């Protein structure tokens, strides 16, 4: 039978801060930290109940801006990937 891992309060607070401050989902942060998503979700909920985390929801204009920025970021990443491939192709052609 597997033993339960113990986490320090500091570790829990940092994990909760990653979820709250980074805007990443609980699932993403849990995977990156190597912990179960329900564990992290419980920590976040407990922190909200205790007042350790402010539950600030985004306004409509902030949500629209965030969606636009995410779309722009995705487009820039695709452009960048294309330019890398084109540069590699030109570099191989000039040999």
CATH architecture label of 1-56: Orthogonal Bundle (1.10)
Alpha helices, H only, the chain:
9-22, 26-33, 37-49, 60-93
Q: Is the pTM of this model over 0.85?
A: no
CA-nearest of 62, 56, 64, 24 to 40 is 24
The answer to whether the CB of 26 falls within 8 A of the CB of 19 is yes
Among residues 11, 23, 9, 14, the alpha carbon closest in space to that of 70 is found at 23
- Per-residue pLDDT band for 2 (boundaries 50, 70, 90) equals low
Confidence of residue 68 (pLDDT cuts 50, 70, 90): very high
Q: What is the pLDDT of residues 31-64, one digit of tens each?
A: 999 999 999 999 999 988 887 666 566 678 888 8
């Amino acid at each position: 039978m597997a033993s339960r891992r113990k986490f320090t309060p500091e570790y829990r607070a940092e994990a909760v801060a990653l979820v709250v401050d980074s805007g990443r989902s609980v699932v993403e942060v849990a995977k990156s930290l190597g912990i179960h998503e329900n564990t992290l979700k419980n920590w976040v909920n407990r922190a909200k109940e205790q007042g350790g985390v402010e539950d600030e929801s985004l306004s409509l204009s902030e949500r629209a801006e965030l969606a636009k920025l995410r779309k722009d970021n995705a487009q820039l990443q695709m452009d960048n990937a294309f330019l890398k491939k084109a540069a590699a192709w030109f570099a191989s052609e000039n040999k």
